[in-house]
Amino acid sequence: MQVAQLSIPRAPFARLVKEIACGRMADVRFQSAAIMALHEATEAFAVREFEAANVFTLHAGRVTIKRADLGAVGRIKAILGGC
């Protein structure tokens, strides 16, 4: 099995997932495969968002992503139905 190179460290991510889950349900447990699936999905989502924001940044002639770029991505996704 090939392990993907992830940007977010595994242990802090797992703690965050468990902390959020414990705030909603009592006595919840996760299999390591479930944590890994959430981790990979979260990273993939973040990468897609930053790639889309980068398009707005380049269009504006900048090299640094601003909060407005990420906001524009969110607005466009809302218009298109959350794709």
Q: What is the CATH number of the domain that holds 15?
A: 1.10.20.10
4, part of any domain = no
Dihedral, CA of residue 50, residue 56, residue 60 and residue 64, to nearest 10: -10
What predicted TM-score, i.e. pTM, was given to this entire model?
A: 0.80
Distance CA 55, CA 63 (A): 10
Full domain range(s) for residue 33 = 10-80
Q: What is the pLDDT of residues 39-68, one digit of tens each?
A: 999 999 999 999 999 999 999 999 999 999
Q: Is 1 inside a domain boundary?
A: no
- Please state, rounded to an integer, the average pLDDT across all residues of the chain: 91
The answer to the question of residue 14 being in a domain is yes
For residue 32, tell me if it sits in a domain. yes
As for how many domains the chain has, the answer is 1
In a domain, 68, yes or no: yes
